[in-house]
C-alpha cells in the first residue's frame, strides 16, 4: 500500500532534510535496544493517558454509534487508557477485550478493571473468528503498519453484522499542530519515510480518507456513518505543496475522520455496497 505522490522524484531536498533523517535514524536505532525501549515507555504520550473525563466523552461517542448493552467489545490500541472499556462494562457491555502491540498495562492490572488485556504482534489479532459485536479504535488505525491485513483481521473477528467504530487522525504526528506541515510525512518517498519512522510509535501509514474508504470496502465493510473533519485553511496550505498535487480537495482538507463501518456477509458485497451506497453524514 503506498500513498506516495507518483510525481515525487526528489525526496531529499537539502541539508535540513538530511539532518532530520539522520536524527530520526539515530533514535530509531536507539529504540531497537530492548532496555532503552523499556526505559522510554513510561514517557510515551498515548492520547487520553487515563483521563477519565475524556474516556467518558469517548464512550459517549461509541455509544452514539451503536448500542453497547450486552455487547462483546474489542478495543484496539487503548494505549494507557483502559477506562473507556471499564466504563463500558459498567454501562452494560457483556465482555470487553483490549488488544495492543505495546504493553502499557499488565494483564492483572487490566483484569482488576474488568478488562481482558491481550498483547499481540500487530499482525494476527488474538481473538477468535466472528466472536465480537464491535471493534473500537480511537486514533489507532493510522498507526497500522499493514492496514490491509489489519482490516481483514477486524473483519475476521467481528460477527456478521458487527461494527467497526473508529476515529482516525490523518496528520503527520511529528507536525500535528504545525501550520503548513500537517501532511509533511507525504513529502517523503516510502523508503525515506521508513528510515524516519520504522521503529517509532509516531509512525503513521499516511493513508488519506479516500484510501481508507477504498480499503474498508475491499475488506468487506459498508459505511454506516462517516464524519470527515475538514479545515479550509489546511486546504489552502496543502494546495501550495507540490508533493500533495496528486490529492483531490477532499483529501487535502480532511485531517481526521470518525466513522462506523458494518461488516458485511461477504467481502465482495462490502466492496460493492461501499462503492455504490456510501451513506455520508458529514
- Residue 257, interface with ligand SAM (CB under 6 A)? no
Residue number with CB closer to ligand SAM (144 or 212) = 144
Query: DSSP letters of 229-275?
Result: EE-HHHHHHHHT-GGGTTS-HHHHHEEEEEEEEEEPSSHHHHHHHHH
Can you tell me whether residue 68 is helix, strand or coil? coil
Member of 24, 81, 182, 264 binding ligand SAM (CB under 6 A): 81
- Tell me: does residue 114 bind ligand SAM (CB under 6 A): no
Q: Between residues 36 and 45, which has the closer beta carbon with respect to ligand SAM?
A: 45
**CA 258 vs CA 64, 65, 112: distances in Å:** 12, 10, 30
Q: Are strands 158-169 and 132-138 parallel, antiparallel or unpaired?
A: parallel
Examine residue 150 and tell whether it contacts ligand SAM (CB under 6 A).
Answer: yes
Query: Angle formed by the axes of helices 209-218 and 267-276, to 10°?
Result: 140
Q: How many residues bind ligand SAM (CB under 6 A)?
A: 19
Nearer to ligand SAM, 11 or 122 (CB): 122
How many CB atoms within 10 Å of residue 177? Answer: 7
CA angle 118, 257, 21 (to 5 degrees): 75
Task: Check binding of 76 to ligand SAM (CB under 6 A).
Answer: yes
Q: Which of 62, 87, 117, 144 binds ligand SAM (CB under 6 A)?
A: 144
147 binds ligand SAM (CB under 6 A): no
Residue closer to ligand SAM (CB basis): 147 or 270: 147
One of 73, 97, 110, 140 touching ligand SAM (CB under 6 A): 140
If binding is defined by CB under 6 A, does position 31 make contact with ligand SAM?
A: no
Q: Does 48 bind ligand SAM (CB under 6 A)?
A: yes
Give dist(CA 71, CA 49) in Å, integer. Answer: 25
100 is an interface residue for ligand SAM by CB under 6 A: yes
The reply to whether 102 sits near ligand SAM by the rule CB under 6 A is yes
CB of 186 to ligand SAM, least distance (A): 19
The minimum distance between CB 79 and ligand SAM, in angstroms, equals 3
Q: Is 215 in the site for ligand SAM (CB under 6 A)?
A: no
Residue 138, classed as helix, strand or coil, is strand
Q: For residues 152 and 217, what is the distance between their CA atoms, to the nearest angstrom?
A: 11
Q: How far is the CB of 17 from ligand SAM (least distance, A)?
A: 25
**10 Å Cβ neighbour count for 99?**
23
Among 78, 228, 259, 270, binds ligand SAM (CB under 6 A): 78
HEC profile of 184-236: HHHHCCHHHHHHHHCCCCCCCCCCCHHHHHHHHHHCCEEEEEEEEEECHHHHH
Residue pointed to by grid coordinates 467518558: 56
Candidate list 17, 20, 28, 46; residue touching ligand SAM; CB under 6 A: 46
Residues that bind ligand SAM (CB under 6 A): 46-48, 76-79, 81, 99-102, 122, 138-140, 143-144, 150
Amino acid at each position: 500500500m503506498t500513498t506516495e505522490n507518483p510525481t515525487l522524484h526528489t525526496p531529499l531536498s537539502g541539508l535540513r532534510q538530511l539532518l532530520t533523517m539522520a536524527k530520526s535514524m539515530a533514535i530509531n536505532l536507539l529504540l531497537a535496544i530492548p532496555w532503552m525501549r523499556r526505559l522510554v515507555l513510561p514517557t510515551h504520550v498515548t492520547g487520553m493517558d487515563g483521563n477519565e473525563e475524556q474516556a467518558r466523552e469517548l464512550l459517549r461517542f461509541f455509544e452514539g454509534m451503536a448500542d453497547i448493552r450486552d455487547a462483546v467489545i474489542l478495543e484496539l490500541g487503548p494505549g494507557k487508557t483502559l477506562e473507556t472499556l471499564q466504563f463500558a462494562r459498567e454501562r452494560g457491555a457483556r465482555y470487553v477485550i483490549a488488544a495492543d502491540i505495546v504493553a502499557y498495562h499488565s494483564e492483572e492490572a487490566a483484569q482488576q478493571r474488568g478488562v481482558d488485556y491481550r498483547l499481540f504482534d500487530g499482525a494476527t489479532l488474538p481473538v477468535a473468528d466472528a466472536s465480537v459485536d464491535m471493534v473500537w479504535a480511537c486514533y489507532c488505525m493510522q498507526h497500522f503498519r499493514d492496514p490491509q491485513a489489519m482490516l481483514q483481521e477486524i473483519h475476521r473477528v467481528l460477527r456478521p453484522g458487527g461494527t467497526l467504530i473508529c476515529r482516525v487522525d490523518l496528520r503527520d504526528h511529528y507536525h500535528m499542530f504545525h501550520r503548513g506541515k500537517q501532511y509533511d510525512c507525504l513529502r517523503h518517498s516510502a523508503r525515506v519515510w521508513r528510515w524516519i519512522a520504522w521503529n517509532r510509535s509516531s509512525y503513521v501509514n499516511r493513508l488519506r480518507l479516500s484510501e481508507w474508504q477504498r480499503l474498508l470496502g475491499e475488506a468487506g465493510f459498508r459505511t454506516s456513518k462517516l464524519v470527515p473533519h475538514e479545515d479550509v485553511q489546511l486546504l489552502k496550505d496543502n494546495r501550495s505543496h507540490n508533493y500533495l498535487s496528486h490529492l483531490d480537495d477532499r483529501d487535502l482538507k480532511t485531517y481526521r475522520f470518525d466513522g462506523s463501518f458494518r461488516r458485511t456477509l461477504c467481502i465482495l458485497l462490502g466492496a460493492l455496497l461501499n462503492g455504490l451506497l456510501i451513506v455520508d453524514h458529514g
